[in-house]
């Protein structure tokens, strides 16, 4: 082997080893989940007299779902004289009128509900929550985003945990209203199930830190104040506050058996916007919180899990590097007869990919018991989507590392929960920038490598190349063409609508 070959292999395997480090952590999460799955939390007692609760509904330009949210929150079973509802609206469009009418209607029905409108958006969602909290009368504060439809028993399931004076926050699991709408919503739901069913349960029940998810949870008001209040110097104010509160000694409770349904994005660019915000915000919080946390006297297991949790998105930068190196590595092997070195790849890929596959298989099984064949069918789609998102999320990580500041880019929801509903007519649109074209180009790069591998009968390399190539092509092409009603059928799995004709 030449010096170039050796140097290339060193870089290639260094990336694989680093990915394997984060990949094997999935095994740890799965193990902790299985170990503690029966350790179901229960309240220490029940309130003899129910406390006053404030429910905050932060919204911004959510004309399609805001009325549904207000109606659902008002159906939560709780004494009206103990429940206050705040609609914290920063909207600049028709949402203002829709929300005001809905609030006025509920006020006439006897609900203690107020509409608070801001025009400056200072601090974005965190700023709205902060201003609302200053006017709130509740001892406990629940939060729901605009796309949620909380169940009537939400407070019955959560509020009694606060009989333990050490409990600062209670979070319930997200469920997905439009899980079966398309391949994209199916894949997103499985990815979220991994986070909520496996990771949250494993972290919370094993004595590690986990985070409030900015919605579908309820806080002790004094906990928010003790932790320093809502900060808006990161894009994930929920993650930031969660770690500050737990570092102060507050206990959190995660209820895996209680759910709050919500929409997942039906549009690829909307999904990418959401993932970009989450990835960037987590690295911002890591830079802000980790140095102090690692120097603290917290248990080693808490420190290690916090490090893995907050830095996990760095793996997307490694995925980008692997994506650029993998076709070249496959071609070098084919051209120079390095077939034996594939056996070195297998343990690395087992750590980096098989761990992820088994993790999401478990998540599907636990979230919605389904036949094995159905879980296997969606697994390649989930894997490909995760791979295809690596450029989007790696860009977010880089922006956080270099302190590139951006505003809070919300993820609009369209009230789409049925296959009979369309969404390409909606008002909120995203522009297609340079990124989908780069993703498509990398997908074509992998397509060339697949053909080359098949021609050389390199059957070991071909499946990995196909997995990566299909992920980039899916994410790139869906971003470019998903608004086209004819091409969208490839991504939604539904017949294209019949063209309208003028009479």
Q: Which residues does the annotation mark as catalytic?
A: 90, 238
Residue found by looking up tokens 């505003």 in the block? 407
Largest Cα separation within the chain, whole Å, is 81
Q: Does residue 375 contact residue 201 with C-beta atoms inside 8 Å?
A: no
Closest CA to 272 of 417, 388, 424, 363: 388
Contact by Cβ (8 Å): 128, 90: yes
Token readout for 120 is: 């400056």
Pick from 216, 267, 260: nearest CA to 238:
216
Q: How many Cβ atoms are within 10 Å of 346's Cβ, its own excluded? A: 11
**d(Cα 314, Cα 308) in Å, to the nearest integer?**
10
What are the residues facing 85 on neighbouring strands?
A: 55, 113
- Report residue 356 as tokens: 């992820």
DSSP-assigned beta bridge partners for residue 95: none
Nearest alpha carbon to residue 61 among 112, 8, 18, 124:
124
Strand partners, 143: 56, 217
Q: What angle do CA 216, 103, 109 make, to 5 degrees?
A: 100
* Sheet of 167-176, strand order: 113-117, 83-89, 53-59, 140-143, 217-220, 167-176, 251-262
Output phi, psi for 329, to 5 deg: -65, -40
Do residues 214 and 109 touch, judged by C-beta distance below 8 A?
A: no
Annotate 34-71 with b (16+ C-beta within 10 A) or e (fewer): eebeeeebebeeeeeebebbbbbbbbbbbbbbbbbbbe
Query: Which residues have C-beta within 8 Å of that of residue 226, sequence separation ≥ 6?
Result: 245, 248, 250
């Amino acid at each position: 082997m030449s010096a170039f070959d050796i140097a290339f292999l060193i870089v290639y395997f260094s990336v694989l080893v680093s990915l394997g480090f984060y990949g094997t952590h999935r095994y740890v999460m799965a193990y902790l989940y299985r170990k503690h799955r029966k350790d179901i939390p229960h309240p220490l007692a029940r309130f003899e007299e129910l406390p006053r609760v404030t429910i905050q509904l932060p919204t911004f330009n959510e004309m399609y779902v805001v009325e549904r949210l207000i109606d659902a929150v008002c159906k939560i079973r709780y004494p009206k004289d103990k429940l206050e509802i705040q609609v914290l609206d920063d909207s600049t469009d028709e949402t203002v009128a829709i929300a005001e009418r809905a609030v006025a209607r509920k006020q006439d029905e006897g609900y203690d509900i107020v509409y608070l409108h801001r025009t400056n958006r200072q601090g974005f969602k965190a700023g709205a929550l902060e201003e609302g909290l200053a006017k709130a009368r509740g001892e406990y504060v629940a939060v729901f985003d605009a796309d949620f439809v909380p169940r009537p028993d939400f407070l019955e399931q959560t509020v009694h945990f606060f009989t333990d004076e050490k409990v600062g926050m209670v979070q319930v699991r997200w469920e997905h209203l439009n899980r079966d709408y398309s391949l994209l919503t199916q894949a997103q739901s499985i990815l979220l199930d991994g986070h909520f069913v496996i990771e949250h349960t494993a972290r919370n029940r094993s004595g590690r830190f986990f985070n409030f998810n900015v919605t579908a949870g309820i806080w002790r008001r004094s906990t928010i104040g003790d932790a320093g209040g809502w900060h808006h110097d990161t894009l994930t104010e929920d993650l930031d506050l969660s770690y500050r509160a737990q570092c102060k000694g507050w206990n959190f409770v995660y209820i895996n058996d209680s759910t709050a349904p919500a929409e997942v994005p039906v549009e690829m660019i909307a999904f990418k916007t959401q993932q970009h915000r989450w990835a960037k915000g987590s690295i911002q919080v890591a830079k802000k919180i980790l140095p102090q946390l690692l120097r603290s006297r917290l248990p080693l297991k808490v420190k290690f899990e916090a490090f893995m949790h907050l830095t996990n998105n760095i793996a997307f930068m490694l995925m980008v590097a692997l994506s650029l190196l993998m076709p070249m590595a496959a071609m070098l092997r084919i051209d120079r007869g390095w077939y034996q070195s594939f056996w070195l790849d297998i343990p690395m890929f087992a750590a980096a990919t098989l761990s992820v596959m088994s993790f999401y298989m478990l998540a599907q099984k636990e979230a919605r018991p389904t036949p094995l064949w159905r879980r296997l069918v969606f697994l390649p789609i989930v894997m490909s989507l995760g791979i295809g998102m690596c450029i989007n999320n790696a860009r977010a990580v880089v922006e956080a590392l270099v302190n590139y500041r951006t505003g809070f880019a919300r993820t609009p929801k369209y009230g789409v929960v049925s296959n009979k509903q369309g969404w390409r007519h909606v008002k909120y649109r995203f522009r297609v920038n340079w990124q989908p074209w780069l993703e498509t180009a990398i997908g074509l790069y992998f397509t060339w490598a697949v053909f080359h591998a098949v021609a050389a009968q390199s059957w070991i390399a071909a499946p990995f190349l196909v997995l990566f190539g299909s992920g980039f092509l899916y994410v790139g092409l869906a971003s470019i063409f998903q608004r086209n009603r004819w091409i969208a059928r490839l991504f939604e799995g539904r017949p294209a609508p019949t063209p309208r004709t003028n009479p």
